[in-house]
Amino acid sequence: MAEQDLTLGVDGMACEGCAQSVTRAITRIDPGAKVAVDLPGKSVRITAATKERAEFEAAIHAAGYDMIAPATR
């Protein structure tokens, strides 16, 4: 599977602890994923080759966060 870039909107992230929780949720299911959390933009960018979008969304939701449409700038 080719590496893919995903940007997911995540509601409820308010601090660095939230960013770490989301990052841990993602890397728990894909240890090789590169994760960049944008707190003000309420989004997370994931570069990964091994999982589908729905799997990342489920992991983030299981960590206690809701999915939203990513903000556009």
**What's the pLDDT tens digit per position in 14-70?**
999 999 999 999 999 999 999 999 999 999 999 998 788 999 999 999 999 999 987
Task: Please report, as a single letter, which amino acid is at residue 41.
Answer: G
- Inter-residue contact 68 to 62 (CB < 8 Å): no
Encoding tokens for residue 33? 């994923």
Residue 51: the pLDDT is: 83
Domain boundaries, the chain: 4-68
- Inter-residue contact 8 to 56 (CB < 8 Å): yes
- pTM, two decimals, is 0.89
Q: What is the CATH number of domain 4-68?
A: 3.30.70.100
- Inter-residue contact 35 to 45 (CB < 8 Å): yes
Residue 39: the pLDDT is: 95
Residue 20: the pLDDT is: 98
